[in-house]
A and B are shown apart, each in its own frame.
Chain A
């Protein structure tokens, strides 16, 4: 622990295992609870199917409707940009794919590094923009809770430290790589207990919405 390499081995080893355990345990506990609880039995006669409308809503709610876009274009555009950037850097950077192979045993093709690098830079800028917007916009500022800032921080840190590590802007290298992995560990630990769970629940919720409306025979 005393030297950067020891720190790197600690975050890669025991700390990563711990974070992964908290993440898997917390997330599965929450998901299983949601699925087992299900919804109350509806005795009313179904006026339409559930599956079709459910999936349709999963899709339609993913794309902002014109009204939402007109009201909050910044949220929609910047939100899309950094989400896509974050997912690209997370899933298509080759060292990350090797990590997934190490943990899950599956791998997929990645993107060339300069592409991931550019996407990461854009993501950092977009994330900073969201924070500035959050602190400047009166309504957003008013409704923001400490959790919102916590979630922003644990999302931003892995991107920033990853960028710093890739460009070797902090020395020695094991220190910044260790900080990158540590920030990811933090992300994993915080994940199941904050709104970050939307990664899994957003699409489930959209499906439920669509399914309810479908059963009632109304459009969503």
Chain B
């Protein structure tokens, strides 16, 4: 296999002018949420960057993350597959099927051992659950991940399922699903959660790796800070209404029509870290809050089990009203009994009162 071309060479070969390249760099900077002043740095780095080999494994997933990726418009998925990265195995997108596909995966793993980037979408049955819950070509997800991780430089967990377990791991978690992070301990893991993640965030993370050749700065949940550094709430254009105390109370009231804050309708923006508010969806058209729907918090762990989507974030889980009533009723009964006992004790004390005179006491002494 010939040495991989640098991206600069590859683009020039495709007849892309320097202007086009600069534009590509501007788009990349924007996508990576970097300031435009970083453009020249990116240009210098991209000029020399070599396409990394990428192996994409799909486990217990719905293909929504791949669907999202193919909606990425900057760069387009074609650019991404052919120019920016070398996507050597993705069983949904690749033309090869069956044994050929698995052979391609094994070949890529051998050729780029220690260097390739492993992308995983979907959770997988944990080491203690039945491996038969999810297999590819007769290989259990767990075995395939272990084998692929061994030669990987880093693992990118795309989507909430692979990052945190997601839907398969939601209570009662019938397949014993776990996240990539739960299994991979000896290699860097980058989580790109979201159900699905913002397409530009997926490509942005890959571009960042490509440009800087190193893994991005991560938060406590292993999420790249460039995209998950701020909460939806802090970047929301409706935030001024939250601060003023102006809320939509239902989906069709005056507040909803005026675009007021959706906190009371269950918006999980305050506890959710993602880039939706600035990157938006559908080629930058809109995002959930802009279209009038509260944030579901899909890029956070356990988001399926974190209470109703339409319940305010601060509302308690379960039915505390009933707890309060039951406990209150019990309290009334206990208080009543305690008071009755106290009264009874007082009455008994009066009835059984045995007066003692000073003389009697003195005799006893």
A138 at the interface (CB under 8 A from B): no
Mostly helix, strand, loop or mixed at chain B's interface? Answer: helix
Q: For this complex, into which size category does the number of interface residues on chain A fall?
A: 35 or more
Which listed residue, B243, B315, B328, B332, touches A112 by the CB 8 Å rule?
B243
A193 to B176, CA, bound (A): 43
**Cβ of B316 and Cβ of A103 under 8 Å apart?**
yes
A5 to B271, CA, bound (A): 10
Q: List CB contacts (< 8 Å) of A88-126 with chain B.
A: 94-96, 98-99, 101-105, 109-114
CB distance from A14 to the nearest CB of B (A): 8
**Cβ of A177 and Cβ of B271 under 8 Å apart?**
yes
- Chain A contacts of B336 at CB under 8 A? 32-33, 36
B103 at the interface (CB under 8 A from A): no
Closest residue of chain A to B223 (Cβ to Cβ) is A172
| Leading 6 A-B pairs by shortest Cβ distance | A32-B335, A28-B331, A36-B339, A102-B315, A95-B314, A21-B327
Pick the most buried of B305, B314, B342: most chain A CB atoms within 10 A of its CB.
Answer: B314
Instruction: Give 27 pairs: A residue, B residue, CB < 8 Å, sorted on A.
Output: A3-B302, A4-B301, A13-B318, A16-B316, A17-B318, A21-B323, A24-B323, A24-B324, A24-B328, A28-B331, A29-B331, A33-B342, A36-B339, A98-B263, A99-B316, A101-B312, A101-B315, A102-B315, A104-B324, A110-B245, A113-B242, A113-B243, A113-B245, A114-B243, A172-B221, A174-B300, A174-B301
- Chain B contacts of A21 at CB under 8 A? 323-324, 326-327
Which listed residue, A16, A32, A113, touches B320 by the CB 8 Å rule?
A16
A12 at the interface (CB under 8 A from B): yes
B101 at the interface (CB under 8 A from A): no
Mostly helix, strand, loop or mixed at chain A's interface? Answer: helix
A9 at the interface (CB under 8 A from B): yes
Q: Which B residues contact A (CB, under 8 angstroms)?
A: 219-221, 231, 234, 242-245, 247, 263-264, 270-271, 273, 300-302, 305-307, 311-318, 320-321, 323-324, 326-328, 330-332, 334-336, 338-340, 342-343
A53 to B234, CA, bound (A): 52
A12 to B311, CA, bound (A): 13
**Cβ of A111 and Cβ of B245 under 8 Å apart?**
yes
- Chain B contacts of A28 at CB under 8 A? 327-328, 331-332, 334-335
**Cβ of B331 and Cβ of A24 under 8 Å apart?**
yes
**Cβ of B311 and Cβ of A102 under 8 Å apart?**
yes
CB distance from B126 to the nearest CB of A (A): 14
Closest residue of chain A to B272 (Cβ to Cβ) is A173
Closest residue of chain A to B336 (Cβ to Cβ) is A32
Q: Which A residues contact B (CB, under 8 angstroms)?
A: 3-6, 8-9, 12-14, 16-17, 20-33, 35-37, 94-96, 98-99, 101-105, 109-114, 168, 171-174, 177
- Given A25-B328, A99-B314, A101-B312, 10 additional A-B pairs, CB 8 A: A3-B301, A17-B323, A20-B320, A20-B323, A21-B324, A25-B331, A95-B263, A95-B314, A98-B264, A173-B270
- Chain A contacts of B342 at CB under 8 A? 33, 37
Which listed residue, A14, A36, A112, A113, touches B340 by the CB 8 Å rule?
A36
Pick the most buried of A28, A110, A168: most chain B CB atoms within 10 A of its CB.
Answer: A28
- Chain A contacts of B231 at CB under 8 A? 168, 173
- Chain A contacts of B335 at CB under 8 A? 28-33, 36
A24 to B332, CA, bound (A): 9
- Chain A contacts of B300 at CB under 8 A? 5, 174
CB distance from B273 to the nearest CB of A (A): 8
**Cβ of A32 and Cβ of B331 under 8 Å apart?**
yes
Which listed residue, B271, B321, B326, B334, touches A174 by the CB 8 Å rule?
B271
Pick the most buried of B245, B312, B318, B336: most chain A CB atoms within 10 A of its CB.
Answer: B245
